[in-house]
Amino acid sequence: MGDVATHKENLVRTAMRLFRRQGYASTGLQQIVAESGAPKGSLYHYFPSGKEALGEAAVTLAGGLVREMLEAHAVKHADPSAFLRAYARTMAGWMADSDFRSGCPVATTLLETAPASPTITAAGAQAIDGWIEVIGGVFERAGVEPREARTKAQLVVAAMEGALLLARVRRSTRPILDVAKLA
């Protein structure tokens, strides 16, 4: 038998990477299986509901990675302005590293599946809520009222998602870095 954890994990990681670059619908299961190195037939063993389950897992994984990044910046920067700058710099770095070809894996997949796929939509909503929670926490600790902190955090997330699109189209990190001016 193959190594379950490795095969399953490779499948999800590869799916996340490809969805991010090519989109959800444009990425074939065949390509995911091939690039992950997992055996072809095993995909439906680990993910009985097929592509949708894979998409859900990829969104959840990506959401967690972004959240961890946000939390790391949050403990380092108490000042919202400094926090946003660090956040923006990180995202800009990811974008430049991919040569402006890979956006946010959560947004890319969600735009294509929400609300048609309830499970992916739910996974995406949970991921985004997590980000808003972390960002809102930074604002709150800086003295912003809880309700307004949450609204501002939501605005930051929206602006960042949009900025990632603009950055890809323009091949420039400028839109991403400008999000930091929201503080």
Partner DNA sequence: TCGATTATGACGATCGGTCTACATGTGGCA
Partner DNA sequence: TGCCACATGTAGACCGATCGTCATAATCGA
Site for a copy of itself, rule CB under 8 A: 22-26, 100-101, 103, 107-108, 110-112, 114-116, 121, 124-125, 128, 151, 154-155, 157-163, 165-166, 168-171, 175, 178-179, 181-182
Minimum distance from CB of 32 to a copy of itself (Å)? Answer: 15
Burial 105-140 (b: 16+ CB within 10 A, else e): bbbbbbebbeeebeebbebbbebbebbbebbbbbbb
CB of 11 to a copy of itself, least distance (A): 21
Return all residues near 4 (Cβ < 8 A) that are at least 6 apart: 46
Is 75 or 169 the residue whose CB approaches a copy of itself more closely? 169
CA distance 65 to 139: 21
Task: Please report how the helices 29-36 and 51-76 are oriented relative to each other, as an axis angle in degrees rounded to 10.
Answer: 60
Contact yes or no for 11/38 (Cβ under 8 A): yes
Among 32-40, 83-91, 115-123, 145-153, the segment contacting DNA (CB under 7 A): 32-40
Instruction: Give 112 or 140: the residue with its C-beta nearer to a copy of itself.
Output: 112
Are the C-beta atoms of residues 54 and 11 closer than 8 Å to each other? yes
Closest CB to a copy of itself among residues 46, 100: 100
Site for DNA, residues 34 to 63, rule: CB under 7 A: 38-46, 48, 50-52
Sequence-distant (6+) residues with CB within 8 A of 53 are 47, 119
Residue 96 binding result from DNA, a copy of itself, none, given CB thresholds of 5 to 8 Å by partner type: none
First to last CA, the chain: 53
Does residue 6 belong to the site contacting DNA (CB under 7 A)? no
Contact partner at residue 143 from DNA, a copy of itself, none, CB < 5 to 8 Å by partner kind: none
Instruction: Write out the residues near DNA by the rule CB under 7 A.
Output: 1-2, 4, 7, 27-31, 38-46, 48, 50-52
